[in-house]
């Protein structure tokens, strides 16, 4: 993949001090501004789970309407970094203490969770998370479209609507859904259409009319194709589609994670060894999937660029498997990718800004942690 000039310069400076993460905050700022422009008609909340790094949150803050958090820890973290930010709190297993966290919107995941919330007696503004039985073909991760622990089927929603009657402190504001991740704009728009239709049916019509259910959060899940690093989710088409879907008086909200921050992150490593074993070439780099678990978690090749800063015997324009320092065959960044690489070269893994450092098992084997650097 192509290494932007600024990242290359920083990689050359850091060559003796790797592994390290480099976050290109200027690139994130420009990308988030583009997304904001494309989605002018809807609210955008950033899904903090993708990357809660404070510098990224501060960079995103001017471009988003709020932040989606999935634990009391994430809520406290965002409060500390951005005290005035609006929070939406989702997630399938909230403790009583988490249900008590004051937030703009609480995403209710089950009738039992709602009963606990009502019994606690505190005011809360809620969206009911619906899991519709709609096809999610082509998704890299499915959180809905069938039996999963996320959200409720229409029966669960009906139970919630019944529980909400006869009390006033837990206020239903609408519906939430996050049915799948890794979908392109047309598929995501199809899902959004199904969710909005359900919300209109159950929130603003018939016996539930007047519940104030005019808000629909259709989730995140915008595709990030790791095999095609230059391709971007079609935010313009998505924004136009959502604008066409929204009826006057309705609030539509999205909560992307990966597609906002994946591209601004780089994990830089240095080649320790190039070896041939039973005919296969391995490049062993400093660090490993305990810092960047994404390729192991998703089973893909992490896209990378090689900076020829090394020398000695290596591989020339041939298939190379790039591995880390861990004593496990799962510590693989990329398999049999044709490249030229020598000991001492810098390997820069791209698309490492989302579900990367924070989803990784940092302490396994007790190697040093990477440095963190920010390009502004
Ligand atoms: C409820 C919810 N919202 C938003 C997201 C963000 O998804 P993505 O990072 O694919 O955009 C997730 C991811 O798992 C999620 O579970």
pTM for the full predicted model = 0.96
Burial of residue 12, with CB atoms counted within 10 A of its CB: 0-12 exposed, 13-18 middle, 19 or more buried = exposed
Residue 198, Cα to own-chain centre: how many angstroms? 25
Domains and CATH numbers, the chain: 5-21+263-375 (2.40.37.10), 86-256 (3.20.20.10)
SS3 assignment, position 283: strand
Characterize the bridge pairing of strands 87-89 and 66-69: parallel
Structure tokens at 188: 């995501």
Catalytic, out of 147, 277, 327, 366: 327
- Say if residues 317 and 338 touch (Cβ distance below 8 Å): yes
Q: Which ligand 1 atom lies nearest to the CA of residue 91?
A: 1
* Residues facing 44 on adjacent strands: 254
Mutation choice for ligand 1 from 90, 181, 225, 256, CB with most ligand atoms inside 8 A? 181
Q: What is the pLDDT of residues 214-268, one digit of tens each?
A: 899 999 999 999 999 999 999 999 999 999 999 998 999 999 999 999 999 999 9
Task: For residue 322, list its beta bridge partners.
Answer: 283, 334
- Residue-level pLDDT at 169: 96
Show the ligand 1 pocket: residues with CB < 6 angstroms: 47, 50, 68, 90, 143, 178, 181, 219-222, 255-259
Ligand 1 atom with least separation from CA of 50: 9
Residue found by looking up tokens 């015997």 in the block: 313
Helix axes 25-38, 235-245, angle to 10 degrees: 30
pLDDT in tens, 40-97: 999 999 999 999 999 999 999 999 999 999 999 999 999 999 999 999 999 999 999 9
Mark whether 264 is an active-site residue. no
Task: Convert 17-76 into a string of H (helix), E (strand) and C (coil).
Answer: CCCEEEEEHHHHHHHHHHHHHHCCCCEEEEEHHHCCCHHHHHHHHHHCCEEEECCHHHHH
């Amino acid at each position: 993949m192509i290494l932007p000039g600024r990242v290359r310069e920083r990689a050359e400076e850091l060559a003796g001090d790797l592994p390290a993460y480099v976050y290109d905050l200027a690139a994130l700022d420009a990308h988030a501004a583009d997304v904001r422009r494309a989605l002018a008609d809807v609210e955008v909340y950033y899904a903090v789970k993708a990357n809660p790094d404070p510098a990224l949150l501060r960079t995103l803050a001017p471009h988003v309407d709020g932040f989606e958090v999935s634990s009391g820890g994430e809520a406290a973290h965002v409060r500390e970094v951005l005290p005035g930010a609006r929070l939406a709190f989702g997630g399938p297993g909230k403790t009583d203490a988490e249900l008590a966290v004051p937030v703009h919107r609480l995403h209710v995941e089950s009738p039992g969770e709602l009963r606990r919330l009502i019994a606690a007696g505190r005011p809360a503004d809620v969206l009911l998370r619906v899991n519709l039985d709609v096809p999610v073909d082509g998704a890299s991760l499915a959180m809905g479209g069938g039996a999963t622990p996320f959200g409720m089927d229409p029966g669960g929603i009906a139970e919630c609507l019944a529980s909400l009657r006869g009390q006033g402190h837990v206020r239903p504001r609408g519906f939430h859904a996050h049915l799948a991740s890794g979908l392109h704009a047309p598929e995501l728009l199809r899902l959004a259409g199904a969710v909005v239709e359900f919300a209109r049916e159950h929130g603003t019509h018939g016996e539930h009319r007047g519940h104030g259910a005019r808000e629909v959060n259709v989730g995140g899940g915008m595709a990030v194709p790791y095999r095609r690093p230059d391709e971007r989710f079609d935010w313009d088409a998505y924004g136009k589609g959502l604008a066409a879907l929204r009826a006057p008086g309705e609030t539509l909200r999205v909560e992307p994670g990966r597609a906002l921050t994946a591209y601004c992150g780089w994990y830089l490593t240095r080649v320790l060894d190039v070896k041939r074993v039973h005919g296969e070439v391995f490049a062993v780099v400093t660090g490993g999937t305990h810092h960047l678990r994404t390729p192991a978690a998703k089973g893909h090749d992490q896209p990378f660029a090689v900076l020829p800063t090394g020398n000695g015997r290596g591989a020339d324009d041939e298939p190379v498997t790039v591995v880390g320092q861990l004593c496990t065959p799962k510590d693989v960044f990329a398999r049999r990718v044709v490249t030229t690489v020598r000991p001492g070269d810098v390997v820069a893994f791209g698309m490492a800004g989302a579900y990367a450092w924070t989803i990784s098992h940092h302490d396994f084997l007790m190697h040093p942690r990477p440095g963190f650097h920010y390009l502004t």
